[in-house]
Amino acid sequence: MKESAREKIIAVGVEIVAVSGFNATGIDAILKAAGVPKGSFYHHFGTKENFGIEVINLFAENYTKKLHGYLDDEALAPLQRIRRYLEESIERTVQDNFSKGCLIGNLGQELAAQSERFRCRLEEVFHDWLGLFAKCLHEAQQAGELNPGLDPQSLAGFLLSGWEGAILRAKVMRSPEPLKQFVNVLFTRVLTAG
């Protein structure tokens, strides 16, 4: 099925905003890359903020599906699912030459103080992701892989916050070391059975 002008603008927007940020991304650059006329943007979105919400929605939808693919994979033990996700994320970050990071984290840093609408939508995405990790961590407890006295929701919050911070440091350092260090400490000191 042919992609509509609206879908094309949003998809191109995800790619450009991931690298350049929201405020630094001009509408003209998006439209040029999408190959659509300027009137299409205002017809479909009205404002750049509406467009930004759609960029968040598309990225969140696609990334949440990706997370489900990792965290719901019953062929692996629960902690192996999380480790696989993190290790493959490190590989993608290196392949992207540390230019993207996490779009939701990037936009959170850039826009949370500028727009309550953006802040709320980004918080919803993080909340959804936190739930996916908490579910997997609860399964790890049930499988005897993880200390049953720990709260899966709190652990998921720690994991998500620590990972986002490690992504930020990796981008700044242009090195996978902060990500590797986080994974090492997470699995040797935090996500343990005892």
pLDDT in tens, 159-177: 999 999 999 999 999 999 9
What's the pLDDT score for residue 1?
66
Q: DSSP per residue over 141-193, as a string?
A: HHTTSS-TTS-HHHHHHHHHHHHHHHHHHHHHHTSSHHHHHHHHHIIIIIS--
Is the separation of the CB atoms in 156 and 137 below 8 Å?
Answer: yes
pTM: 0.95
Q: Which pair of tokens denotes residue 54?
A: 């759609």
The closest alpha carbon to 153, from 122, 130, 129, belongs to 130
**Using CA atoms, how far apart are residues 10 and 59, in angstroms rounded to an integer?**
9
pLDDT in tens, 125-151: 999 999 999 999 999 999 999 999 999
Q: Which pair of tokens denotes residue 125?
A: 């995405």
**Using CA atoms, how far apart are residues 39 and 9, in angstroms rounded to an integer?**
12
CATH of domain 58-190: 1.10.357.10
Q: In this structure, how many other beta carbons lie within 10 angstroms of the beta carbon of residue 50?
A: 14
Average pLDDT over residues 7-27: 97
Is the separation of the CB atoms in 136 and 81 below 8 Å?
Answer: yes
* Spans of all domains in the chain: 58-190
What's the pLDDT score for residue 54?
99
